[in-house]
Amino acid sequence: MSRLKSSERRMKLILMLQESNKRLTVDELAERFNVSRRTIFRDFNVLSEINVPVTWDNYSGYGVMDGYKVPPLMFTSKELATIMVGLNFVKSQVDRSLVEDAKGVELKIKNTIPTELKSFMESLDNRTIVDPFLHFGSEKKEGGSWYLVSSAISQSKKIVFTYTAKSDGEKTERKIDPYLLVFYRDHWNVIGFSHKRGANRNFVLDSMENVQILEELYTQNEEIDAEALIFNSNESGQIIEVLVHEASDRVFRANLPTKIIKSERVESKINKVTFRFENLDYINTWLLQFGDKVEIISPKKLKDKRKVVLKKMIDQI
């Protein structure tokens, strides 16, 4: 472990003693923090002066009194800066309730940390912007029952809801085992096992109404594999082939909302990319952002959808 500032080391020392299921010797602590025994003894003297109830046993070493809990909001400036990045990300979201919750968390932290850290936090507040186009340019809206869904996930309970399809507006009743909450660009999704389809599916939260947590528990045979769930949620979708110009290739790959099955160079600056996607209306709109830098090869149904959208755009001119 690299050397830490004394205040940070002592904070970590308290947490280590508090969380350890056994006492720790001075030699173990000195090795853990890469300092001398003398430094550890000095740290214990400081902790004693600020009334941390350190206990000592001649045979097993040091610990802290049972029931002692370190105050939860003792952050270093680097930890606080990390928190500010996270809070500013949440405040940039289009979901109104998430934004308000983030502001509430920020206010609570400001009211409990020391004055110098509060000043540091306030100095970063308006100078750390995550995704400025969402932060400044989007009207806030209700983003779906993310808290209910997250509660169901934490308890491994099934949920039921009314789902409105993006393609045709059809409403259907759904029951799923919710596995994963995923944020993509400007909306939240839940991926879970759909009892209607008999397979894992992706659902957009703001298309879900009347969400209810059931008392029915679900059991997964394997540990959650987030990457597999995200990319395989389009497994039943159609095969899509596009030509991507080199100028847009990096952005295309970084933001494509599914997994690339195959990619090959077909011309000096053109790549042929193959992937699966279930919602053709969504992927059609998504592909349009690249203009003439992305050409659809197949399926024909997707090419026809692009023609319809482009015709509407031309008619508006």
pLDDT of residue 79: 81
- pLDDT of 231 higher than 80: no
**What is the C-alpha separation between 213 and 215, in angstroms, rounded?**
7
Under a CB-based contact definition with an 8 Å cutoff, are residues 262 and 274 in contact? yes
**What is the C-alpha separation between 243 and 247, in angstroms, rounded?**
12
Q: Is residue 232 part of a domain?
A: no
- pLDDT of 12 higher than 60: yes
Q: Is residue 233 part of a domain?
A: no
Provide φ and ψ at 306, rounded to 5°.
Answer: -65, -40
Q: Which residue has the higher pLDDT, 232 or 14?
A: 14
pLDDT of residue 1: 44
Mean pLDDT on 37-47? 88
Between strands 171-184 and 187-194, the pairing is antiparallel
Last residue of a domain, one of 43, 64, 85: 64
pLDDT of residue 85: 82
- pLDDT of 194 higher than 60: yes
Instruction: Provide the whole-model pTM.
Output: 0.55
pLDDT of residue 3: 52
Domain tally, the chain: 4
**What is the C-alpha separation between 145 and 140, in angstroms, rounded?**
15
**CATH of residue 30:** 1.10.10.10
DSSP letters spanning 128-181: --SSHHHHHHS--B----HHHHHHHHHHTEEEEEEEE-TTT--EEEEEEEEEEE
pLDDT of residue 74: 65
Last residue of a domain, one of 90, 117, 137: 137
Q: Which residue has the higher pLDDT, 72 or 32?
A: 32
Mean pLDDT on 175-201? 86
Q: Which residue has the higher pLDDT, 130 or 36?
A: 36
Residue 91: pLDDT band by 50, 70, 90 thresholds?
A: confident
114-162 per-position pLDDT tens digit: 777 778 887 777 677 766 655 555 555 565 677 888 889 888 999 999 9
Q: Which residue has the higher pLDDT, 182 or 185?
A: 182
Percent of the chain exceeding pLDDT 90 equals: 27
Same domain, 251 and 289: yes
Mean pLDDT on 208-225? 84
**CATH of residue 199:** 2.30.30.520
Q: Is residue 48 part of a domain?
A: yes
Q: Which residue has the higher pLDDT, 105 or 71?
A: 105
β-sheet with 199-204: strand ranges across:
199-204, 187-194, 171-184, 157-164, 208-217
Contacts of 251 (CB under 8 A, 6+ apart): 290
Q: Is residue 111 part of a domain?
A: yes
Same domain, 165 and 202: yes
pLDDT of residue 131: 65
Same domain, 244 and 202: no
Mean pLDDT on 53-64? 82
**What is the C-alpha separation between 128 and 44, in angstroms, rounded?**
37
Average pLDDT over the chain reads 82
Last residue of a domain, one of 192, 227, 262: 227
Same domain, 244 and 304: yes
- pLDDT of 270 higher than 80: yes
Q: Is residue 311 part of a domain?
A: yes
Q: Is residue 207 part of a domain?
A: yes
Residue 243: pLDDT band by 50, 70, 90 thresholds?
A: very high
Q: Is residue 72 part of a domain?
A: no
pLDDT of residue 2: 45
Residue 49: pLDDT band by 50, 70, 90 thresholds?
A: confident
Q: Is residue 69 part of a domain?
A: no
Residue 15: pLDDT band by 50, 70, 90 thresholds?
A: confident
Domain that holds residue 271: 238-315
